């Protein structure tokens, strides 16, 4: 179970992993996520599904190595197994429940930022399969950090690329590209943005000006991911919601992004500490005054 079937380095510290998980693949829909654990002492890490193949019984995830746990997952090789791969979790994207005829009348713009580009892909792919053409903007720091461009090229009607330094596509932020597209006369009925919290916040601020309905996928902290712990609570329209069972997608114009960003950092110090301890241990340093406890 949960054997790694394929592993690719997409960009610096960003890996793609295709995992054998027939039950998850069978049930998965766009917008959902999985909880992954590398080994018996590992943390439960929520990761948005980047692709799934029902016939093959596989699910693809894209991970950026940030702390000890994501690093551990990325160190596993093809043929090795993840300890746990549970899902699909969360509610699927709203559009999967809507009549196809309605969807076909609608103009969508998807925005993917950094590693968040990966979970945009199954949504665009699903819509394409239903005959719904959508535009996509991908943003990254630079050319080397761009991911999923070829895959997206295949499923998007128009693909626009932006980089902070202009090394690929146009120079600037995804929000500038969006405003440019709207100014050029493109009409959109709905926007879906997935990426760093700060990007989603600014997309929300931008689209609000145009009263453009916008959905974001929140990557809140989670422990169990099934509604038990409440670590993932976010404020949406002034009400506390659980990202894992009521999300992960919410109306961007109602999300309290500042609180969500702050809450994401709750364990940052502890995680950085754990990473530093691990690094020292790897380098053969053994703390003799117990600071690694």
Interface ranges with other proteins (CB under 8 A):
23-24, 27, 37, 41-44, 68-69, 72, 83-89, 223-224, 226-231, 233-235, 240, 242, 245, 259, 262-263, 265-267, 270-271, 274, 292-293
| Least spacing, CB of residue 99 vs other proteins, in Å | 20
Smallest distance from the beta carbon of 200 to other proteins, in angstroms? 18
CB of 197 to other proteins, least distance (A): 14
Q: Give the nearest distance from C-beta 251 to other proteins in angstroms.
A: 18
Q: Which is nearer to other proteins, 136 or 234 (CB)?
A: 234
Nearer to other proteins, 209 or 293 (CB): 293
- Which of 149, 226 has the CB closer to other proteins? 226
Q: How far apart are the C-alpha atoms of 106 and 213, rounded to whole Å?
A: 12
Enumerate the H helices of 43-194 as residue ranges. 68-75, 100-105, 117-129, 149-155, 174-183
Nearer to other proteins, 51 or 84 (CB): 84
Buried b (16+ CB within 10 A) or exposed e, 2-16: bbbbebeebbeebbb
- H/E run at residue 269: helix 268-282
Nearest CA to 130 out of 106, 111, 147 is that of 106
d(CA 21, CA 33): 13
């Amino acid at each position: 179970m949960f054997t790694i079937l394929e592993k690719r380095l997409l960009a610096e510290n960003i890996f793609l992993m295709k995992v054998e998980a027939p039950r998850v693949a069978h049930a998965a829909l766009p917008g959902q996520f999985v909880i992954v654990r590398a080994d018996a002492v590992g943390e439960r890490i929520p990761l948005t599904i980047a692709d799934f193949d029902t016939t093959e019984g596989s699910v693809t995830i894209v991970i950026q190595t940030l702390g000890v746990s994501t690093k551990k997952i990325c160190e596993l090789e093809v043929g090795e197994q993840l300890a746990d791969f549970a899902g699909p979790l969360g509610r699927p994207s709203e559009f999967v429940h809507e009549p196809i005829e309605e969807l076909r009348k609608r103009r969508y713009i998807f925005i993917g930022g950094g590693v968040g580009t990966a979970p945009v892909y199954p949504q665009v792919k699903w819509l394409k399969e239903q005959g719904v053409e959508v535009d996509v903007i991908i943003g990254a720091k630079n050319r080397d950090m761009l991911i999923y461009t070829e895959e997206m090229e295949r499923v998007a009607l128009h693909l626009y690329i932006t980089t902070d330094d202009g090394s690929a596509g146009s120079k600037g932020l995804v929000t500038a590209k969006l405003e440019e597209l709207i100014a050029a006369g493109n009409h959109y009925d709905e926007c879906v943005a997935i990426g760093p919290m700060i990007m989603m916040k600014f997309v929300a601020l931008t689209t609000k000006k145009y009263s453009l309905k916008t959905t974001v996928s929140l990557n809140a902290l989670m422990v169990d991911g099934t509604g038990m712990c409440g670590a993932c609570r976010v404020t949406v329209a002034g009400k506390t919601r659980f990202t894992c069972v009521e999300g992960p997608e919410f109306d961007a114009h109602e999300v309290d992004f500042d609180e969500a960003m702050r809450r994401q950092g709750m364990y940052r110090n502890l995680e950085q500490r754990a990473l530093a301890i691990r690094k020292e241990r790897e380098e053969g340093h053994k703390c003799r005054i117990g600071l690694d406890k």
